[in-house]
Structure 1
Amino acid sequence: MTVTIYHNPDCGTSRNTLAMIKASGEEPVVIEYLQHPPSRDRLRQLIAAMGIPVRALLREKGTPYAELGLADPEWTDEQLLDAMLEHPILINRPIVETPRGTRLCRPSELVLDLLDHPATHFTKEDGEVVTGDRGIK
């Protein structure tokens, strides 16, 4: 199984997701998207595969979201993509892509449904324990 994670090592949710993937026996392709942002076409493909609107991939916290005025509903999808490409920190994370699907894994345990052999017990960085079938409490 090929697993790809668009990862930010400074993000706890992203680190937990990566650790859950590895605990499930997978060695993912890790794309640190702040250093290697996806192209416009790739970003469109990921959004389409997730089945979400472009706006749903925007991250507000710790980004220039407010300064750019991105809350304004008048921004078109193309303008939102332009902003994400200019400021990759605006792309919410982690995005995980597997043959089972593509998903924004917030919370991190959403990744477990994308894995062939998900870990059934995992302790997150903050001490929260994820257990059970498919790893969900």
Structure 2
Amino acid sequence: MTTTIYHNPRCGTSRNTLALLQERGVQPEVVEYLKTPLDRAALRALIGAMGVPVMDVVRAKEAAFAELQLGEPGVSDEQLIDAMVAHPILMNRPIVVTPLGARLCRPAETVLEILPPQP
């Protein structure tokens, strides 16, 4: 089973999600998206796999969110994606992809929804 976590090691929730995966015997591919940012196509595909609005993937707590006025009325999904591509810190984390689905894992226990049940 291939599992990928889009991870920020400075984020407690991201570290907890990675630890939970490892406790379940899953050794995921770890993508530190701040070091290896996603391109537009990969980000769109990831958001599509999660089946959530683009705004759900944007980290509104980051200073760049306010600086870029991303919370203003009329900001399009394309503008949000452009902002996340240009400023990867704006991508919410951790995002985990397994054969059973993709989720933004906030809280960390959300990852259990996309892991096979333990015997």
* TM-score, normalization by structure 2: 0.95
Distance 1:32 1:112 in 2: 21
What is the match of residue 98 of structure 1?
98
**CA-to-aligned-CA distance 1:51-87 (integer Å, 9 cap, x gap):** 1111111102234111111111211111111110110
1:39–1:85 CA contact under 8 A, matched in 2: yes
Unaligned runs of 5+ in 2: none
Quote the residue 2:38 is aligned against.
38
Bigger-Rg structure (1/2): 1
The separation in 2 between residues aligned to 1:68 and 1:20, in whole angstroms, is: 34
Count matched residues.
118
Match of 1:86 in 2: 86
Q: Whole-Å Cα distance in 2 between the matches of residues 79 and 115 of structure 1?
A: 32
Alpha carbon RMSD of aligned pairs, Å? 1.1
Q: Which amino acid aligns with 1:110?
A: T
Instruction: Name the CA distance, whole Å, in 2 between partners of 1:23 and 1:72.
Output: 41
Q: For 1:104 and 1:69, how far apart are their aligned partners in 2?
A: 23
Q: Which runs of 4+ in 1 moved over 3 A?
A: none
* TM-score with structure 1 setting the length: 0.83
In structure 2, how many angstroms separate the alpha carbons of the residues matched to 1:108 and 1:24?
Answer: 13
Measured against aligned partners, the alpha-carbon deviations of 1:76-117 in whole angstroms (never above 9, x if no partner) come to 111111110110000000000000100000000000121125
Render the CA deviation track for 1:9-45: whole Å, top value 9, x for unaligned. Answer: 0000000000000000011000000010111111111
Task: Choose between structure 1 and 2 for higher RCO, CA contacts under 8 A separated by at least 6 residues.
Answer: 2
**Which position in structure 1 is the counterpart of 2:62?**
62
Gaps of 5+ in 1: 119-137
Contact 1:25–1:117, Cα closer than 8 Å, also in 2? no
**How far apart in 1 are the matches of 2:13 and 2:63?**
16
